[in-house]
Amino acid sequence: MEKYFEKLKNNGFKLTPRRRAIIDLFVSCGSHLSPEMVWHKLKLKFKRCGLPGVYRNLEALLKCGILVRIQQADRKKHYGLCVSGDNHHHHITCIKCGKVEDIKDCAIRGIDKIKGYKIVSHFMQVNGICASCRE
């Protein structure tokens, strides 16, 4: 918890009740959430709470390295707590419970060319069913 507050400060962001609550939320649910899901949860705690603020805060937490952006097949944004910090990696998501875990091995990493292309960026997302959701 403290380390997240540190990250906010180090990046010039203020520690507000909203941000505290959003971090809490991700820590306690342990899965990835869309801005709308975060908003619904926050509204239980704060009766005045705007969706644009949620979007801004999720981006702020992303900039601090507290959250990562999970790329899903739908057109929504998804964010999750990232344990591995800045090290390049990808994510595997459970389609039942939404849990997000790191995949450390990256097939692309280390390769600088495919088919003569100079590789600039890539992303990968794996979806599956985690051990506990399979019983």
Q: Which residues bind a copy of itself (CB under 8 A)?
A: 71, 73, 75, 92, 94-95, 101, 103, 107-108, 113-131, 134
Minimum gap (Å) between residue 121 Cβ and a copy of itself: 5
Stretch that binds Mn ion, among 19-27, 39-47, 94-102, 124-132 (CB under 5 A): 94-102
Instruction: Identify residue 15 by its one-letter amino acid code.
Output: L
- The alpha-carbon radius of gyration of the chain (Å, integer) is 16
> Between the CA of residue 30 and those of 23, 70, 117, what are the distances in Å?
11, 14, 38
Q: Tell me if 34 contacts Mn ion by CB under 5 A.
A: no
71 and 125 Cβ atoms separated by less than 8 Å? yes
Q: Tell me if 102 contacts Mn ion by CB under 5 A.
A: yes
Round to whole Å and give the CA distance between 125 and 108: 13
Question: Applying CB under 7 A, which residues contact DNA?
Answer: 9, 12-19, 34-36, 46, 48-53, 55-57, 59-60, 74-77
